[in-house]
């Protein structure tokens, strides 16, 4: 075992944990030290184990991977549970508002002037040639925002919802004193 790479050691440890066909698997950073191909393989193995009815508890700092793998999440900071629940509910509860990435072909400043006073829009920023707008509401509100731009003659080339993501939720949960 001492001569194996870190990635191979991770694989051996996972195989060793599975030999006894446990009902519950506790994994600490299962993708640590793995190359991209091995990460995909481990992720597929974990999904297959989940489909077989296994309960898998993962401790990890690779949050985008957890979003894809987990159904429930618990955010622990300094020994205290800061947030828990279904992944998407925790993300929605902890991230502020919804965000849109908006690309316009021209008249970027005019588009910003149109977006800023809209009652549902909380913040508008210019980021790397695009506009990011944070708003309160649902898909209907996003549609109204698009209509406000196109109705004013703004040619919109991109209009994409931006997920707050688990990283944003983690930062929010660990920055506040609960």
**Mean pLDDT of the region 151-169:** 88
Q: pLDDT confidence of 94, banded at 50, 70, 90?
A: confident
Stated pTM of the model: 0.63
Kindly write down the DSSP assignment for every residue of 26-65, as one continuous string. EEESTTTT--HHHHHHHHHHHHHHHHTT-EEEEE-S-HHH
pLDDT tens by residue, 102-153: 999 989 999 999 999 999 998 899 988 899 998 988 888 999 999 999 999 9
Question: For position 177, what pLDDT does the model report?
Answer: 52
Q: pLDDT confidence of 101, banded at 50, 70, 90?
A: very high
Contact 94, 173 (CB under 8 A): yes
CA 37/CA 122 separation, integer angstroms? 41
Question: For position 178, what pLDDT does the model report?
Answer: 44
Structure-block tokens of residue 18: 């599975």
Q: 176 pLDDT exceeds 80?
A: no
The distance in angstroms from the start CA to the end CA of the chain is 43
- Residue reference for tokens 């790397």: 128
Q: pLDDT confidence of 96, banded at 50, 70, 90?
A: low
- With residue 77 as reference, give the H or E element that holds it: strand 72-77
pLDDT tens by residue, 31-76: 887 888 888 888 899 999 999 999 999 999 888 888 888 999 999 9
What's the CA dihedral at 111, 117, 118, 121 to 10 degrees? 90
Q: 15 pLDDT exceeds 80?
A: yes
Beta bridge partners of 86: 72
Q: If DSSP codes are grouped into helix, strand and coil, which group holds residue 164?
A: coil
Domains delineated in the chain: 6-70 (3.40.50.300), 97-164 (3.30.70.100)
Beta bridge partners of 134: 99, 123
DSSP E strand boundaries for the chain: 24-28, 55-59, 72-77, 80-86, 98-104, 121-127, 130-135, 156-162
């Amino acid at each position: 075992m001492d001569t194996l790479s870190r990635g191979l050691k991770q694989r051996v440890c996972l195989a060793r944990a599975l030999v006894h066909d446990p009902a519950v698997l506790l994994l600490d950073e299962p993708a640590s030290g793995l190359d991209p191909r091995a990460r995909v393989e481990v992720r597929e193995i974990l999904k297959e184990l989940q489909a077989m009815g296994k309960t898998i508890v993962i401790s990890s700092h690779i949050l985008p991977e957890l979003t894809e793998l987990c159904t429930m999440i618990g955010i622990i900071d300094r020994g205290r549970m800061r947030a828990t629940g279904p992944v998407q509910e925790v993300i929605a509860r902890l991230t502020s508002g919804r965000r849109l990435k908006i690309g316009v072909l021209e008249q970027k400043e005019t588009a910003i002037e149109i977006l800023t006073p809209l009652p549902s829009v909380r913040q508008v920023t210019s980021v790397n040639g695009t506009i990011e707008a944070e708003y309160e509401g649902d898909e209907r509100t996003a549609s109204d925002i698009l209509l406000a731009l196109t109705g004013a003659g703004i040619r919109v080339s991109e209009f994409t919802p931006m997920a707050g993501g688990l990283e944003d939720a983690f930062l929010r949960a660990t920055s506040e004193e609960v």
